[in-house]
Amino acid sequence: MRTDRIVIFTDLDGSLLNHGDYSFSPALSMLTYLKNNHIDLIFTTSKTRVECLLLQEKMQLTSPFIVENGACIYFPNGEKIMLGRKHEEIVGFIDKYRKDFGIYAFKDMSIDELCKHTGFSHEQALLAKQREFSEPFLMDGVKDIDLLKKIAQKEGFKILKGGRFYHCVGAGQDKGLALKSTLKHYKGYYSIALGDNYNDIAMLEVVDQPILIPKHGGEFISLDLPNLIKAPHEGSLGWSEALKQVLL
């Protein structure tokens, strides 16, 4: 395949980054290939801006990136496109329904608690708390999640399911909408996206080549798309092997 007109969008946790240790070492050779062939790798993640910047530095990337489940797109030239709602508005909604639904949010967790729930280091946990457009949370039970989703929709919010947490975000955002906005800067490019979870479906639906990675434990989410490739392994190894199928 020609590599001069390709753009790749990727989820991070459970995809490019392993579920348990957040390692991307099995993908190092593929990351080198992408850099050598000038293929932009665009993070499309629930992570924050500061988390993405640190990962870009570690991977030596300078591409645009999309944060907090499609809330905002950041470009290397300083331009940004905001699709979500501000964090204080998200938190206001969460606080309003905290007691009714047994919500326990990121902002309520100590650094040690967050590390326990995520496997983050203290540094990673501090960065993850610096949210601008979303709030991850846990619930006492899942029986009321559909009701919470309906209430959120009425009030201009949306509840997404990630790998470890639910995420409260603005109703006018998702990874798919963010991809569509970003692709305006890549007219004529062949687009590839990789993800492993339900909040990745919207992005997988809008690209030329969707790649589904198995969740931690080896099972795939239910997804039926034309041309869908299923990675042979979970995490970073599966991410790399699936891209080899497409690019090499």
**Catalytic residue IDs:** 11
Nearest to residue 248, comparing CAs of 9, 34, 18?
A: 34
Q: Are 39 and 3 in contact (CB under 8 A)?
A: yes
**CA–CA separation, 230 and 234 (whole Å):** 10
Structure tokens at 217: 């434990």
Which residues on adjacent β-strands are paired with residue 139? 103
Structure tokens at 209: 């080549």
Residues 74-111 as b/e (b if ≥16 CB within 10 A, e otherwise) read beeeeeebebbbebebbbebbeebeeebebbbbeebeb
